[in-house]
Structure 1
Amino acid sequence: MSDLDQPDPSSVAPGSQRSVHRSIAFSAIERYGNLVLFLVTIAVLARLLTPAEFGIYAVVNAVTAVVAASFQEFGGANYLIQKRELSRASVQTAFTVTFGISALVGLALLALSGVLSQLFEQESLQKGIAVSALSFLLVPFSGTITGLFRRDMEFGKLAICNLVSGAVGAAVSIALAMLSFGFMAPVWGGVAGNVVLTIMLLRQHRDLGAFRPSVAQIHDVVGFGLYSSGVSVINVLYNLSPQLFLAKILDFTSVGLYSRATSITQIFDKLVVQVLNPIIMPALVSRSKDASNLRVAYLDAVELLSVVQWPFLLFIAIMAHPIILILLGQNWLEIVPLVRLLCVANLALFAACLTYPTLVATGSVRDALTSSLISLPPSLLVVLCAAFFGAQAVAASALLTLPFQAAVALYFIGRRLTIKPKHLSCALLKSAVVTVMTASGVMVCAALIEARIVPSFVGLIAAGGVAALCWWSGLMITGHPLLHHLHRAAGGLVVSAPWLRLRRL
């Protein structure tokens, strides 16, 4: 049976708790496996490449990512998932539009690679951009199959494909870096990973008819894509703007330092948010018929995400020095203040991963674009001004821009779901208490490391244990709803433990 013959996920299994929990489990296996690969790769590459080489790679990645964002939402995964009744014609049209735009954009980027290298006054960029453009021919295939698998909650297949492609990309990057390929090592690694991913997805899907050219549903695809692509482009451009501004205004060493700081800050996203992202859209779409159910689901998700994100980010901020020393080495300690600033600023984004899926689920994809157009242009201006004062000033600017962006997004969400500030406050109160308890314990360990009473590695391990103990204690004291979910995830093996029976206060 092909993917298109499966039942509509908005009406059956994907809405069930069992399906969601199983999907989260497979997604977690994939993301955590790739997180290990990511940490190993950056630890090795940090010792093989200089900050300047990392900076050049970051700019290549930024340019190609911004360009890719301009076409991936035309018939991409989000279009396939949100479509209530998905026909073969819809899939074929989505692929056709995506492939056509991808090919044209890839050729344009290849032709303009020389101009871009002159713009940033770095000839090496031309080769890096040209090689990265090769992946544009693969994305329509992998993106279409990924969207279909996500729609049908086939996360086991996705996990295998993504883990293997991630391992290949990491191995190629490290091997080429050892052979002195410089910044081109991770560029070629990315292309190799995309090739393997596409081949494996095609072997899993086995329905080549989905890639037959068609324009039968072109108005529907383009109608959704215009708004969705607009949201994607402006958000990707904003997220990568610090690297682009620093490269043009200062130097590639600053770009490399800021890029590594961002990578450390985003570990939470790789641990939690990227595990949930593939499931959030189909899960919310399945509840979109009832606004009250969607409001409850949103507030519950905010409560669960914040109690994990806030303590984690503050742990990274407080323990930034030993983390960077152990993971990246002595040469990268300059990014410690950047990591701390970015972690504190990111506390405001406790519900960021829910914004776009929620607005799409309510049929308000236009609001997602409006929200971005209101909050991101002023934020870009702030980042641009900060870039003249260095990477640390850019990181500090996030303390202004990220809370502003969060406030705008919450306004649009609140309007659609009739959520008031008091509702959010109630959802976040227990998480705030747990966070304060966790951070207090970690600060004691940080003080011991700073006073050189314990070495960095021992102190970091001890801080992790203390943080876990304080966090768990906070969950029990507040009776946080996450306890119930952890209990269910454990499969009832500890059902007799009395603290798991705590009710919400």
Structure 2
Amino acid sequence: MPAGHCYPPKGDGFAMNSVQRSILFSAADRYGSLVLFFVATAVLSRLLSPAEFGVYAVVNAIAVVIAASFQEFGGGNYLIQKRDLSPDDVRSAFTITFGISGVIAALLFVLADSLSQLFAQDSLKGAIEVSALNFLLLPISGTISALLRRDMKFGTLALCNFASGVAVALVSIGLAIAGLSYMAPIWGGLAGNVILTLALLVGHRDPSALRPSLFAYRDIVSFGVYSSGVSVVNVFYNLAPQLFLARIIDFGSVGLYSRAINLTQIFDRLVTQVLNPVIMPAIVARRQAGEDLKAIYLEAIQLLSVAQWPFLIFVALMARPIIAIWLGPTWLDIVPLVRLLCIANMAVFAACLSYPVLVAVGSVRDALISSCISLPPSLLVILGASFCGVQAVAGSALLTLPFQAAVAIYFIGRHLRFGLKDLVRALMKSGLVTAATAFGVAVCAALTEAGLLTSLTGLALASCAAALCWWLGLLLTGHPLLYQLHQAVAGLARITPRWRLSRSAL
């Protein structure tokens, strides 16, 4: 690529057309991964015990926290938000990320024994050493993924991620059957990263982005200090309960809590993770086009809340049959944990918007300040709850998550100039739709708990009741989501004839 070439941000017309297409590809990516996750989790839950899952969860938590500490120095968000991205910017970002990553991988090898002694679990040493190998691959896959996201090439990303997910599932299940215990998903994760990196290199076909350079290091470091700070604080907070439980109680508690979190976060896998790759480039593009971010934000939280709240209520009410069918009867101890976490997570309906919006208004510093205000007190609450058991840790989310949401919305409200009344007005219809959905599901849940319905029958009827009551709620309230669904259906209707014509031409 010529030295003077730039990666310009896309214009408004491109952004509006590509956002819908990007969401479609992102949905295909995430839902394919979700199917693999469901199958792999169902099989592994019957092959590994809660304690074995706990060891894996702790190793994964250590790796994710460390990865968050360096990936934002030239990571995806820097490459996406940069208005005029030059090849030197990309190469410098990759070089910085790879340098830090290599140092961390070496340190993990050296400190693996000390970390295993910290958690009083000798078996952690080998697991940490294998996990450290991932850090040699993350800079390559992270840089290429960011460039593909910036260019809205989510179809290529979807294929690469799906290939990686298949590798993770097959290797993890195969090794678990072979008796490798908690090492099975760890080796599976490494295999998935190898496949992802190779697939991205084939899909991107521009190795010049990975040449070493430090030409633009000043700009990258100035952005990375704040962005990395936000990432580390938030990731550590999300994984802290598992680390606290491992140190204070036992790995069995970690396994139970980890599985409860996985079930609670199904909505994130279904919806939020579909939108996450698209949100940042879309908001930045609309900001550059001069659109009103206040209106965009308030509309977005209406759409997110009317999807998330009813879903979490459904999972909370039907937790027992869901767990019995998906994970098996050995995991029924997590039912109360799931219910507490579902209710608490209703407070963070707009969490996926907070960081992109603050970056779009040029205030990544406020994103870090917001996290530093809300997360340290929350960590203290979780630490105290850890001494009282795993259920107390789950219950502490009822205090910490609403507090974090309030702080984040306060900072966003200052920049976008909206107040509590605007927020309540935007969420009122979603609250009514959620209440209608809860009524229908509660009836089926009561019949199932009373033994009048089997778990499978109760879950099927509850799903139908939830869908019907949710749809009636949308109609009766005239929720804005109806318009979005109408637009989506109209868009598919326009695409289908073109697709048929192209196939007939072929």
Correspondence for 2:108: 109
Asked whether the 8 Å contact 2:12–2:289 carries over to 1, the reply is no
**Secondary structure at 1:168's aligned position in 2?**
helix
Aligned counterparts of 1:493 and 1:87: Cα–Cα separation in 2: 36
Correspondence for 1:358: 357
Aligned counterparts of 2:428 and 2:419: Cα–Cα separation in 1: 15
Correspondence for 2:300: 301
1:227-253 CA-partner distances (Å, limit 9, x unpaired): 000000010100000000000000000
Aligned counterparts of 2:340 and 2:290: Cα–Cα separation in 1: 37
**Letter aligned with residue 282 of structure 2:** A
Please report how far the alpha carbon of residue 7 of structure 1 lies from its aligned counterpart in structure 2 after TM superposition: 6.0
1:368-399 CA-partner distances (Å, limit 9, x unpaired): 00000000000000000000011100000000
Correspondence for 2:47: 48
Aligned counterparts of 2:325 and 2:446: Cα–Cα separation in 1: 18
Correspondence for 2:119: 120
1:461 correspondence with 2:460: yes
Asked whether the 8 Å contact 1:27–1:275 carries over to 2, the reply is yes
Correspondence for 2:375: 376
Q: Are the structure 2 counterparts of residues 125 and 369 from structure 1 closer, same or farther at C-alpha, using a change threshold of 3 Å?
A: same
Please report how far the alpha carbon of residue 6 of structure 1 lies from its aligned counterpart in structure 2 after TM superposition: 7.7
1:138-176 CA-partner distances (Å, limit 9, x unpaired): 000100000000001000000000011001111100000
**Secondary structure at 1:402's aligned position in 2?**
helix
1:229 correspondence with 2:228: yes
1:21 correspondence with 2:20: yes
Asked whether the 8 Å contact 2:36–2:169 carries over to 1, the reply is yes
Correspondence for 1:500: none
1:435 correspondence with 2:434: yes
**Letter aligned with residue 92 of structure 2:** T
TM-score, normalization by structure 2 = 0.96
Correspondence for 2:160: 161
Aligned counterparts of 2:68 and 2:137: Cα–Cα separation in 1: 14
Aligned counterparts of 2:295 and 2:75: Cα–Cα separation in 1: 28
Q: How does 1:313-328 map to 2 (within 5 A)?
A: 313-328=312-327
Please report how far the alpha carbon of residue 491 of structure 1 lies from its aligned counterpart in structure 2 after TM superposition: 2.6
**Letter aligned with residue 401 of structure 2:** L
Aligned counterparts of 1:34 and 1:363: Cα–Cα separation in 2: 33
Asked whether the 8 Å contact 1:309–1:350 carries over to 2, the reply is yes
Correspondence for 1:238: 237
**Letter aligned with residue 105 of structure 2:** G
**Letter aligned with residue 298 of structure 2:** L
Aligned counterparts of 1:110 and 1:14: Cα–Cα separation in 2: 46
Aligned counterparts of 1:5 and 1:276: Cα–Cα separation in 2: 29
**Secondary structure at 1:70's aligned position in 2?**
helix
Aligned counterparts of 1:92 and 1:492: Cα–Cα separation in 2: 38
Asked whether the 8 Å contact 2:12–2:286 carries over to 1, the reply is no
Please report how far the alpha carbon of residue 106 of structure 1 lies from its aligned counterpart in structure 2 after TM superposition: 1.1
Aligned counterparts of 2:311 and 2:18: Cα–Cα separation in 1: 27
Hey, which bits of structure 1, 4+ residues long, moved more than 3 A? Answer: 4-7, 289-292, 492-495
Q: How does 1:346-495 map to 2 (within 5 A)?
A: 346-491=345-490
Aligned counterparts of 2:104 and 2:282: Cα–Cα separation in 1: 32
Aligned counterparts of 1:400 and 1:240: Cα–Cα separation in 2: 17
1:76-134 CA-partner distances (Å, limit 9, x unpaired): 11000000000000000000000000000111111111000000000111111110110
Aligned counterparts of 2:75 and 2:488: Cα–Cα separation in 1: 31
Aligned counterparts of 1:427 and 1:194: Cα–Cα separation in 2: 41
Aligned counterparts of 1:493 and 1:165: Cα–Cα separation in 2: 29
**Secondary structure at 2:99's aligned position in 1?**
helix
**Secondary structure at 1:490's aligned position in 2?**
helix
Q: Are the structure 2 counterparts of residues 31 and 5 from structure 1 closer, same or farther at C-alpha, using a change threshold of 3 Å?
A: farther
**Secondary structure at 2:410's aligned position in 1?**
helix
Aligned counterparts of 1:484 and 1:41: Cα–Cα separation in 2: 37
**Letter aligned with residue 240 of structure 1:** L
Please report how far the alpha carbon of residue 5 of structure 1 lies from its aligned counterpart in structure 2 after TM superposition: 5.8
Q: How does 1:73-152 map to 2 (within 5 A)?
A: 73-152=72-151
Aligned counterparts of 1:20 and 1:380: Cα–Cα separation in 2: 37
Please report how far the alpha carbon of residue 9 of structure 1 lies from its aligned counterpart in structure 2 after TM superposition: 2.9
Aligned counterparts of 1:132 and 1:288: Cα–Cα separation in 2: 39
Aligned counterparts of 1:494 and 1:38: Cα–Cα separation in 2: 31
1:162-206 CA-partner distances (Å, limit 9, x unpaired): 011001111100000000000000000000000000000000111
Aligned counterparts of 1:355 and 1:245: Cα–Cα separation in 2: 27
1:256 correspondence with 2:259: no
Aligned counterparts of 2:418 and 2:101: Cα–Cα separation in 1: 39
Aligned counterparts of 2:206 and 2:449: Cα–Cα separation in 1: 59
**Secondary structure at 1:480's aligned position in 2?**
coil
**Letter aligned with residue 226 of structure 1:** V
Give the percent of matched residue pairs that are identical in Structure 1 and Structure 2. Answer: 63
Aligned counterparts of 2:121 and 2:282: Cα–Cα separation in 1: 45
Correspondence for 2:34: 35
Q: Structure 1: which 5+ residue stretches go unaligned? A: 496-505
> RMSD between aligned alpha carbons?
1.6
State the aligned residue count. 494
1:185 correspondence with 2:208: no
Q: Are the structure 2 counterparts of residues 5 and 472 from structure 1 closer, same or farther at C-alpha, using a change threshold of 3 Å?
A: farther
Aligned counterparts of 1:249 and 1:7: Cα–Cα separation in 2: 49
**Secondary structure at 1:374's aligned position in 2?**
helix
Asked whether the 8 Å contact 2:9–2:84 carries over to 1, the reply is no
**Secondary structure at 1:215's aligned position in 2?**
coil
Aligned counterparts of 1:171 and 1:426: Cα–Cα separation in 2: 48
Aligned counterparts of 2:186 and 2:106: Cα–Cα separation in 1: 18
Please report how far the alpha carbon of residue 292 of structure 1 lies from its aligned counterpart in structure 2 after TM superposition: 5.9
Asked whether the 8 Å contact 1:172–1:185 carries over to 2, the reply is yes
Q: Are the structure 2 counterparts of residues 492 and 129 from structure 1 closer, same or farther at C-alpha, using a change threshold of 3 Å?
A: closer
Asked whether the 8 Å contact 1:142–1:197 carries over to 2, the reply is yes
**Secondary structure at 1:324's aligned position in 2?**
helix
Q: Are the structure 2 counterparts of residues 160 and 493 from structure 1 closer, same or farther at C-alpha, using a change threshold of 3 Å?
A: closer
Asked whether the 8 Å contact 1:132–1:191 carries over to 2, the reply is yes
Please report how far the alpha carbon of residue 492 of structure 1 lies from its aligned counterpart in structure 2 after TM superposition: 5.6
**Secondary structure at 1:182's aligned position in 2?**
coil
Asked whether the 8 Å contact 1:231–1:369 carries over to 2, the reply is yes
Correspondence for 2:11: 11
**Letter aligned with residue 482 of structure 1:** L
Q: Structure 2: which 5+ residue stretches go unaligned? A: 495-506
Correspondence for 1:499: none
Q: Are the structure 2 counterparts of residues 441 and 11 from structure 1 closer, same or farther at C-alpha, using a change threshold of 3 Å?
A: same
Please report how far the alpha carbon of residue 263 of structure 1 lies from its aligned counterpart in structure 2 after TM superposition: 0.3
Aligned counterparts of 1:317 and 1:451: Cα–Cα separation in 2: 17
Please report how far the alpha carbon of residue 8 of structure 1 lies from its aligned counterpart in structure 2 after TM superposition: 2.3
Correspondence for 1:501: none
Asked whether the 8 Å contact 1:128–1:187 carries over to 2, the reply is yes
**Letter aligned with residue 427 of structure 1:** A
Aligned counterparts of 1:367 and 1:40: Cα–Cα separation in 2: 40
